[in-house]
Homo-oligomer: A and B are copies of this chain.
């Protein structure tokens, strides 16, 4: 009872996305076998091609889900800080820390762009970027920043944070490197301030 077909469908999609998330993170997109992946949740490739069209479609779905989760976390952290400027820095830190998770790195930062193309064109609209842009615009309205294009500033900040994350992830002393990176990030970001803080 109550197991309607659409609910079955949703459950199947969920199971496939979850399995793909694991497989893509562990083996990488190219080396992940669709046969293994689907068998891991008791299905076959038929279900996959029925629900997602092709392998890329599945990756897109996985990326959308992860991106959504990241946006939620970033927004929560940004809103937690009372001060807007502190919020921006906290968001940068959060972004760096999220990008430290192997799953995020492999799927969203490496295979995602290579397979799906430029992240800023994704349906999920690079939610983190949107959040950062919003924060920069609010700071601009308060007159606390030099006159600068909000999108440009947000993109460069995110880019800096991203590279910091990749650096930290590859390093042997993540904590030390994290400290250095955060310090440098604060320095760079302070270049945006109208009056140096």
Contacts and interface: CB of A to CB of B under 8 A. Distances in A.
B121 A153 contact: no
Contact of A181 (B152, B169, B193): B152
A19 interface: no
Copies in the complex: 2
A183 interface: yes
B118 A170 contact: yes
Interface in A145-193: 146, 148-149, 151-153, 155-164, 166-167, 169-170, 177, 180-181, 183-185, 187-193
A173 to B, nearest CB: 13
A109 to B, nearest CB: 8
Contacts of A110: 113-114
A27 to B, nearest CB: 13
A67 interface: no
A148 B111 contact: no
Contact of A163 (B29, B158, B180, B196): B158
A30 interface: yes
Interface residues of A, number: 46
B164 A180 contact: no
B196 A166 contact: no
A180 B149 contact: yes
B170 A156 contact: no
Interface string A123-148: 00000000000000000000000101
B164 A160 contact: no
A44 interface: no
A155 B151 CA distance: 21
Contact of A196 (B113, B177, B196): B196
B192 A121 contact: no
A24 to B, nearest CB: 12
